[in-house]
């Protein structure tokens, strides 16, 4: 199975390559154009071998610090956004200059979480990326940091990269970082062993995914959840060191390979699980949690003990188990005010026009 994961990454026709801040920038030197050139060399080689590549490049905040006289990664959003606006210009310019060595044009694509969550923008972004590919240009994607209204809406670019892989229907996602793969513990904290292959969630038992470096955002936890997200959409993932980019992109046996799930989630359930914002919560009793999580049944009004948020039929809501634990997400079939009226009641006791599941099994994804 895993041999085939590496084989499918090696032979992938459409690839998303995500490059972390730590691979492109440092606090002292800012943007490292030499390292960026080596990455562009490896990407160009893969494109010349016949693959389409979309680049998700972090590093805007890191590249913007020195020009603004800042010596550490800012904590507040406004300074981060100011740094990103300065750094993004430098970053995009550096990618453009680097690929120009090969006569290759780049296009900058800045996305917000909404662009992925809302279906109309989703399609616009998809069309732009597709047309850039058709015109043999390389898309350089980053979060649109300066308009992200709350602290990094995607959370981090690992998640953005996995969503972009889904968006463009990629066959592989390659995450390049300053670490050469997943270890069973944070390698900066002493003895840790590299895990070459992750085939199932059990392979992650006991793994401690720690925080990132001085310039990174999500650390290993965000890479693991991005790998899970990509796996759900059927995309295999390779996590490797940016310094091994040439090997990673040419199919060498480096880093950690994550197998995709055998059957990918439908586009609708993928959207419910990963892309949509939730508008409220339904609180479930133990029996309802068992029904929706273990038995994959629809959620009925009888198992709901509470409702919060002001949502409408058609919105995505979180399903919370006892102890406020999120157990699933789904598209709700009633407004919040209607659910207040029917919660705890059996479906057959409801008026005829309300006798339907609150969340249908087809619209529900366990977490």
Q: Do the annotations mark residue 18 as ligand-binding?
A: yes
**Does residue 142 belong to the site contacting ligand VHF (CB under 6 A)?**
yes
Q: Which tokens in the block code for residue 95?
A: 């990618």
Q: CA-to-CA distance for 40 and 101, rounded, in angstroms?
A: 10
Decide which of ligand VHF, ligand ADP, none touches 141; Cβ closer than 5 to 8 Å per partner kind.
none
Question: In this structure, what DSSP letter does residue 314 have?
Answer: T
**Does residue 363 belong to the site contacting ligand VHF (CB under 6 A)?**
no
Q: Which tokens in the block code for residue 286?
A: 């133990």
Angle formed at CA 353 by CA 337 and CA 320, multiple of 5 degrees: 40
Interface positions, 215-234, toward ligand VHF (CB under 6 A):
216-218
Neighbours of 286 (CB within 10 A): 11
Q: How far is the CB of 260 from ligand VHF (least distance, A)?
A: 22
Interface positions, 156-195, toward ligand VHF (CB under 6 A):
156-157
Q: How far is the CB of 336 from ligand ADP (least distance, A)?
A: 37
Q: CA-to-CA distance for 19 and 147, rounded, in angstroms?
A: 21
Q: Among 212-220, 302-310, 311-319, 345-353, which window interacts with ligand VHF (CB under 6 A)?
A: 212-220
Instruction: In the chain, count H helices and then E strands.
Output: 13, 15
Nearer to ligand VHF, 74 or 280 (CB): 74
Decide which of ligand ADP, ligand VHF, none touches 145; Cβ closer than 5 to 8 Å per partner kind.
ligand VHF
**Does residue 112 belong to the site contacting ligand VHF (CB under 6 A)?**
no
| Short-list 112, 121, 105, 166, CA closest to 141 | 112
Question: In this structure, what DSSP letter does residue 269 have?
Answer: H
Contact string (CB under 6 A) for ligand ADP, positions 8-27, x = contact: ------------xxxx----
Residue 146 CA from chain centroid, whole number: 19
Contact string (CB under 6 A) for ligand VHF, positions 11-50, x = contact: ---------xxx----------------------------
Decide which of ligand VHF, ligand ADP, none touches 232; Cβ closer than 5 to 8 Å per partner kind.
none
**Does residue 115 belong to the site contacting ligand VHF (CB under 6 A)?**
no
**Does residue 154 belong to the site contacting ligand ADP (CB under 6 A)?**
no
Among 220, 226, 254, 289, binds ligand ADP (CB under 6 A): 220
Nearer to ligand ADP, 241 or 354 (CB): 241
Q: Which tokens in the block code for residue 100?
A: 């120009």
3-class SS string, 115-182: HHHCHHHHHHHHHHHHHHHHCCCEEEEEECHHHCCCCCCCCCHHHHHHHHHHHCCCCEEEEEECCCCC
Interface positions, 285-344, toward ligand ADP (CB under 6 A):
none
**Site for ligand ADP (CB under 6 A): how many residues?**
25
Q: CA-to-CA distance for 5 and 224, rounded, in angstroms?
A: 16
Decide which of ligand ADP, ligand VHF, none touches 24; Cβ closer than 5 to 8 Å per partner kind.
none
Q: How far is the CB of 363 from ligand VHF (least distance, A)?
A: 31
Q: How far is the CB of 70 from ligand VHF (least distance, A)?
A: 13
Among 114, 178, 244, 285, binds ligand ADP (CB under 6 A): 178
248 Cβ contact partners less than 8 Å away, ≥ 6 residues apart: 42, 174, 176, 238, 240, 241, 254, 255
Q: Which tokens in the block code for residue 259?
A: 């197998």
Q: Do the annotations mark residue 30 as ligand-binding?
A: no
Q: Which tokens in the block code for residue 320?
A: 């919370």
Sheet containing 316-321: which strands, arranged edge to edge? 304-308, 281-284, 316-321, 325-332, 359-366
Q: CA-to-CA distance for 304 and 340, rounded, in angstroms?
A: 9
Q: Which tokens in the block code for residue 83?
A: 């740094």
Decide which of ligand VHF, ligand ADP, none touches 82; Cβ closer than 5 to 8 Å per partner kind.
none
Which residue numbers belong to the known binding site for ATP?
Answer: 18, 177-178, 217-223
- Residues of this chain that interact with ligand VHF (CB under 6 A) are 20-22, 58-62, 84, 142-143, 145, 156-157, 212, 216-218
- Residues of this chain that interact with ligand ADP (CB under 6 A) are 20-23, 58, 177-179, 182-183, 185-188, 207-210, 212-213, 216-220
């Amino acid at each position: 199975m895993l041999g085939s994961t590496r084989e499918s990454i090696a032979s992938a026709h459409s690839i998303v390559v995500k490059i972390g801040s730590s691979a492109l920038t440092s606090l002292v030197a800012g943007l490292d154009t030499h390292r960026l050139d080596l990455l562009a060399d490896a990407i160009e080689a893969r494109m010349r071998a016949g693959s389409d590549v979309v680049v998700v490049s972090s590093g805007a905040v890191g590249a913007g610090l020195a020009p603004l006289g800042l010596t550490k990664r800012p904590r507040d959003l406004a300074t981060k956004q100011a740094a990103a606006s300065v750094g993004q210009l430098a970053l995009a310019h550096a990618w453009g200059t680097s690929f120009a060595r090969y006569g290759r044009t780049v296009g900058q694509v800045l996305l917000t979480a909404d662009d992925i969550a809302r279906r109309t923008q989703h399609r616009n972004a998809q069309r732009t990326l597709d047309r850039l590919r058709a015109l043999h240009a390389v898309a350089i994607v980053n979060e649109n940091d300066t308009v992200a209204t709350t602290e990094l809406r995607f959370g981090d670019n690992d998640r953005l990269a996995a969503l972009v892989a889904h968006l463009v229907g990629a066959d592989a996602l390659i995450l390049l970082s300053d670490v050469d793969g997943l270890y069973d513990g944070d390698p900066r904290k002493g003895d840790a062993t590299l895990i070459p292959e992750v085939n199932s969630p059990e392979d992650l038992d006991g793994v401690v995914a720690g925080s990132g470096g001085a310039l990174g955002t999500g650390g290993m936890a965000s890479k693991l959840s991005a790998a899970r997200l990509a796996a759900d959409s059927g995309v295999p993932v390779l996590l490797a060191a940016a310094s091994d980019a040439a090997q990673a992109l040419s199919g060498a046996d480096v880093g950690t390979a994550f197998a995709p799930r055998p059957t990918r989630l439908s586009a609708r359930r993928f959207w419910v699980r990963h892309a949509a914002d939730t508008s409220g919560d339904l609180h479930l009793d133990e029996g309802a949690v068992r029904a929706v999580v273990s038995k994959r049944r629809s959620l009925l009004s009888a198992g709901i003990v509470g409702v919060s948020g002001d949502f409408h039929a058609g919105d995505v809501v979180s399903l919370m188990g006892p102890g406020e634990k999120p157990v699933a997400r789904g598209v709700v079939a009633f407004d919040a005010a209607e659910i207040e009226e029917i919660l705890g009641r059996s479906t057959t006791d409801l008026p005829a026009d309300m006798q339907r599941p609150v969340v249908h099994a087809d619209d529900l994804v366990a977490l």
